[in-house]
């Protein structure tokens, strides 16, 4: 069974706490602060691994947690950073993170950091100044990012076989490649995409047999809603159509049904190159098959090549294979002109720009007279310090004043001794 969907929970490692320590040595009467900083928590990184083919490993395990960093120690010993946690995914996987960001893994070795580890706290040595030579406060490490990630696998295939159920797609794939899909004389025999490799004279093509689509597939009917996504990455589509359907349906209406569903799912699919394979030619007279081919060529025009095929006798399969090899471009060849154009462009320095942490805050006064302050910066400030430490409280008050929080509170009618709530912590604030 092909597992092409998964949902995992990831948590980066927390940062290590800074150390509160003072130098203690014989014959050193004025040993100063020597607390080291905590390390940075381990990141969670996803890696595109070409040895994987689906997401079945995530059915057994869905929670991934990186290790936290080590705490700082005395003698200015900084804590070690937490190790990276790597999660390996098959090529073609799309990620949708809890924060709304999306990533597409298509190149083996591609790496994406999906959860960043928490920053480490500073030791008391970092708070020493000319006027405060023996600080008795140190910061705590911050927790790492965490949340749910949606995984969706979209097969990386060169050619996609699409058509109504029982149109003969699996039979064509089995005859043209070494794939061994299940073949039977009833609709929806194929319940999951099957890949096969077409051996050409100088190259290979990967062909995907997409489970049968029906009317309404783009809205969830049948199997199409789950597997239409696998067609998105193909570079060419082969529409497999019965010359004379055994159920007596109209081939023209059947063709229109599939094309409409592809267009409804993604307009880009309607623009992909097409080939039409009229299947099961061995079940009708040769004259009828050739007449049908002529009619379809007139109907579709010169842009769509039409082939009369039979998986039972092998009719038309060699011509179809040669056309597939000819029509699907090599990636290197397709990029050759762009590479020549960029050959003389000077290489610029690569830089990474990340959005800065939010520095804004808001102040609200409740009916009970409690002042509530919201904002990432002030919440991180309280999370870093021990509220039972008098020096830490004085440091927090100083930082709040420098950030403009005290002025904003006074503008809302705050008076010394009033209750203030920050990050769920309620305390009395006595500025000054």
pLDDT, tens only, 14-68: 999 999 999 887 777 777 899 999 999 999 999 998 888 778 889 889 999 999 9
- Give CA torsion, residues 417, 422, 425, 430, to 10 deg: -20
Cβ(324)–Cβ(238) below 8 Å? yes
Q: Where are the beta strands (DSSP E) in 154-300?
A: 159-162, 194-199, 204-209, 236-242, 274-279
Give Cβ neighbours of residue 206 (< 8 Å, ≥ 6 apart). Answer: 156, 157, 158, 159, 195, 196, 197, 198
* Alpha carbon distances (Å) from 96 to 27, 89, 152, 267: 60, 14, 8, 22
Domains annotated for the chain, with CATH where assigned, are 1-153 (2.70.210.12), 159-338 (3.40.50.300), 362-428 (3.30.300.350)
Answer whether residue 203 shows pLDDT above 50.
Answer: yes
Closest CA to 104 of 229, 213, 9, 205: 229
Q: Could you tell me how far CA 143 lies from the centroid of its own chain?
A: 22
Answer whether residue 9 shows pLDDT above 60.
Answer: yes
State the pTM of this model: 0.69
Give Cβ neighbours of residue 41 (< 8 Å, ≥ 6 apart). Answer: 12, 13, 14, 15, 16, 66, 67, 68, 69, 81, 82, 117, 118, 119, 120, 141, 142, 143, 144
CA distance 36 to 69: 13
Q: In the prediction, which pLDDT does 45 show? A: 96
Cβ(249)–Cβ(242) below 8 Å? no
pLDDT range class, residue 345, cuts 50, 70, 90: very low
Supply the DSSP symbol for 431. -
Per-residue b or e along 175-198, where b marks 16 or more CB atoms closer than 10 Å to that residue's CB:
bbbebebeeeeeeebbebbbbbeb
pLDDT digits (tens, 9 = 90+) for 351-397: 666 665 555 888 888 888 888 999 888 888 888 988 888 888 888 88
311: number of Cβ within 10 Å: 24
Q: In the prediction, which pLDDT does 192 show? A: 60
CA distance 303 to 7: 41
Instruction: Choose between 387 and 139: higher pLDDT.
Output: 139
Lowest-pLDDT range, 246-250, 283-287, 409-413? 246-250
Answer whether residue 118 shows pLDDT above 90.
Answer: yes
Segment 86-100 shows an average pLDDT of: 91
Closest CA to 108 of 90, 126, 123, 125: 90
277 beta partners: 240, 307
Q: Are strands 85-89 and 44-48 parallel, antiparallel or unpaired?
A: parallel
Closest CA to 136 of 149, 147, 127: 127
Closest CA to 213 of 163, 260, 263: 163
The chain-wide mean pLDDT, for the chain, equals 82
SS3 label, residue 188: coil
CA distance 240 to 286: 18
Answer whether residue 344 shows pLDDT above 80.
Answer: no
CA distance 415 to 396: 17
CA distance 357 to 359: 6
pLDDT range class, residue 208, cuts 50, 70, 90: confident
Segment 206-233 shows an average pLDDT of: 61
Helices 317-327 and 169-176, packing angle to 10 deg: 80
Which tokens hold the place of 345?
């462009």
pLDDT digits (tens, 9 = 90+) for 285-330: 999 999 999 999 999 988 899 999 998 899 999 999 889 888 886 6
Question: What percentage of the chain exceeds 90 in pLDDT?
Answer: 32
């Amino acid at each position: 069974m092909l597992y092409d969907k998964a949902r995992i929970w990831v948590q980066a490692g927390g940062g290590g706490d800074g150390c509160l320590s003072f130098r203690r040595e014989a014959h050193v009467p004025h040993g100063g602060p020597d607390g080291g900083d905590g390390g940075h928590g381990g990141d969670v990184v996803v890696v595109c691994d070409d040895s994987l083919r689906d997401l079945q490993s995530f059915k057994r395990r869905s929670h991934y947690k990186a290790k936290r960093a080590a705490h700082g120690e005395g003698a200015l010993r900084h804590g070690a950073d937490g190790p990276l946690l790597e999660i390996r995914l098959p090529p073609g996987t799309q990620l949708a993170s809890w924060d709304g960001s999306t990533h597409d893994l298509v190149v083996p070795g591609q790496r994406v950091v999906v959860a960043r580890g928490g920053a480490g706290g500073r030791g008391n040595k970092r708070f020493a100044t000319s006027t405060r030579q023996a600080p008795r406060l140190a910061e705590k490490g911050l927790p790492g990012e965490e949340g749910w990630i949606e995984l969706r696998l979209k097969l990386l295939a060169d050619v996609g076989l699409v058509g109504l159920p029982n149109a003969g797609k699996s039979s064509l794939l089995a005859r043209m490649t070494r794939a061994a899909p299940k073949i039977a004389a009833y609709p929806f025999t194929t319940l999951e995409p099957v890949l096969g490799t077409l051996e050409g004279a100088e190259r290979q093509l990967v062909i995907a047999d997409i489970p049968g689509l029906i009317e309404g597939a783009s809205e969830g009917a049948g199997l199409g809603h789950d597997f239409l996504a696998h067609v998105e990455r193909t570079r060419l589509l082969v529409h497999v159509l019965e010359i004379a359907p055994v159920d007596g349906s109209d081939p023209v209406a059947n063709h229109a049904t599939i094309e409409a569903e592809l267009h409804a799912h993604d307009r880009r699919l309607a623009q992909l190159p097409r080939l039409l394979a009229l299947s099961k030619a061995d079940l009708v007279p040769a004259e009828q098959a050739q007449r049908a081919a002529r009619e379809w060529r007139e109907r579709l025009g010169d842009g769509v090549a039409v082939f009369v095929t039979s998986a039972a006798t092998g009719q038309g399969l060699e011509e179809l294979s040669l056309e597939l090899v000819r029509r699907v471009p090599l990636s290197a060849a397709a990029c050759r002109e762009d590479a020549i154009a960029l050959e003389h462009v000077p290489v610029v320095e690569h830089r990474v720009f990340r959005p800065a942490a939010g520095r804004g805050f808001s102040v609200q006064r409740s009916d009970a007279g409690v002042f509530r302050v919201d904002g990432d910066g002030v919440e991180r400030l309280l999370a870093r310090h021990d509220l039972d430490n008098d020096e830490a409280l004085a440091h927090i008050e100083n930082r709040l004043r420098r950030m403009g929080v005290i002025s904003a509170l006074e503008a809302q009618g705050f008076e010394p001794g009033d209750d203030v709530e920050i990050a769920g912590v309620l305390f009395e604030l006595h500025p000054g």
